[in-house]
Structure 1
């Protein structure tokens, strides 16, 4: 069975569903009043309260309260979970070997227990970072200016890595510092440090900060130091994979 759910289950029903879900490496979700005790790199105790508990197929174990984004207690992937019955009470145990950590959860007043065997092999696709800006500029250098020719990405210097190194239409070296968000003074200072590695270059060297926008202080410092600014938004489009292999639609 791919999915099973039981409202207000008995302790024996709870034990059976969780045990079955663990054996099938399913995604298990429990709503119950619970108490949690952790021992490992530190020690903690969480008294009884109404919470959501999630056991994932990769071994992750999460306890969520009705507030905050992060779980109040958790164990990372590759932890080993077990369900036990002691004197008519259901206990969950999650153990991590290295470093040695143990989380035990006592369940009372169980409102819902369920498991689901999902099919999901996709990774989260994120766009809009400096890396995406670099790829966009590399493929469409005219976005910087007509005649710009990028030659190297992530060029190593004594002060760090230049995002894009290239030349303008006149053959002058151009150093591009990319920021996917509003750039500040620190970005301008970083660009200035890169230019110091080219002080002995006999040809003209141009430094350009590329970002959607810049603070007033950053723009003033750019002007004072003879550096340039190019307003450019990072790409926001996601790659659409039209091949659908699952029946989730």
Structure 2
């Protein structure tokens, strides 16, 4: 990795390093006292404070405060960055063409600035999400119950998409809502809306179920459930099945996400 670092440089020296970094299309990291303004779909201003500024080769522009995961201001990839000196301060501008947006950072004191030519060609592999649960259930439907037969995934209804639709051993319709984390009241209400959508649908199979007095069963599938959600679920006549999402990445080397 090729990089360059300056500690407590003047704004003029900081400007030179930024210009060099932009020419070389490297990642820029700045710790500085700055203020920020934004013009675009809205207006915002952030007064003077010590912050972290990151500019990536793809045009991404991020401003972080000392707390929180999300940046306080940002511009997406394909934005265009330029820098200049005005009244002895360093200005950084990030322009976005569509929609038209301008993020301006005025820096009066730099504590640390560097750029680095980062090489990273890997893509993040993830596990432990609803999709992984769905894949696992489709491959091993008995995890829900013996005799369960999945028939469709992402089945469209008025209020969204049912994760898995299927039938039990008695040919009752089963509606599965999957959650990879502890389920709350929102998940129960979401599943209830799906069940109501099906009851209001003009569907030949549902008509057949009704004529044969078959049931429509709602199942919330998650590792665990909150107490208030369990109470609502029982009141609604919805079932709960506890299943942990798979924690292995789909690669030869077994790597888990327990740390997450």
Give the TM-score, by structure 1 length: 0.80
Q: Give the match's secondary structure for 2:131.
A: helix
**Residue 228 in structure 1 maps to residue 229 in structure 2:** no
1:154–1:101 Cα change, 3 Å? closer
Structure 2: distance between partners of 1:49 and 1:224? 52
1:190 maps to 2:193: yes
In the TM superposition, what is the alpha-carbon distance from 1:134 to its structure 2 partner?
Answer: 1.4
* 1:114 aligned residue: 114
State the shift of 1:57 in Å.
1.2
Assess, with a 3 A threshold, how the Cα gap between structure 1 residues 194 and 88 changes in structure 2: closer, same or farther. closer
Q: Which range is displaced more, 18-27 or 43-52?
A: 43-52
Question: In structure 2, what is the equivalent of residue 207 of structure 1?
Answer: 217
* Offset from partner CA, 1:213-249 (integer Å, 9 cap, x none): 345565556556655332222223333465xxxxxxx
Equivalent residue, structure 2, for 1:14: 14
**CA separation of 1:97/1:161 partners in 2, compared to 1, >3 Å: closer, same or farther?**
closer
1:138–1:12 distance in 2 versus 1, CA, 3 Å: same
In 1: Cα distance, 2:168 partner to 2:150 partner: 9
CA contact (8 A) 2:157 2:198 kept: no
Structure 2 Cα separation of the partners of residues 85 and 219 of structure 1: 61
2:166–2:175 contact (8 Å) kept in structure 1: yes
Moved more, 28-37 or 164-173: 164-173
- 1:72 counterpart residue number: 72
Aligned partners of 1:177 and 1:191 also within 8 Å: no
Shift of 1:61: 1.6
Show the counterpart of 2:257: none
Alignment partner, residue 36 of structure 2: 36
Which ranges of structure 2 fall in alignment gaps of 5 or more residues? Answer: 254-260
Work out the CA distance in 2 between the residues paired with 1:51 and 1:226.
Answer: 52
Q: Which moved more, 1:34-43 or 1:4-13?
A: 34-43
| Local SS of the residue matching 1:16 | helix
2:178 maps to what in 1? 178
1:53 paired to 2:53: yes
Inter-CA distance 187–231: structure 2 relative to 1 (3 Å threshold): farther
CA distance in 2, matches of 1:223, 1:49: 51
Show the 5 A alignment for 1:90-169: 90-157=90-157, 160-169=160-169
* Structure-2-length-normalised TM-score: 0.77
User: C-alpha separation between the residues in 2 aligned to 1:214 and 1:45?
Assistant: 42
| 1:97-156 superposed Cα distances (whole Å, 9 cap, x missing partner) | 222222232222222110011122334444333322211100111111223222222233
CA distance in 2, matches of 1:144, 1:105: 54
RMSD: 2.9
Contact kept in structure 2, 1:188 and 1:218, CA below 8 Å: no
Query: Structure 2 vs 1, CA of residues 7 and 139 (structure 1 numbering), >3 Å: closer, same or farther?
Result: same
Is the 1:208–1:230 contact (alpha carbons within 8 Å) kept by the matching residues of 2? no
Tell me if structure 1 keeps the 8 A contact 2:60–2:75.
Answer: yes
| Number of positions where the alignment pairs a residue of Structure 1 with one of Structure 2 | 242
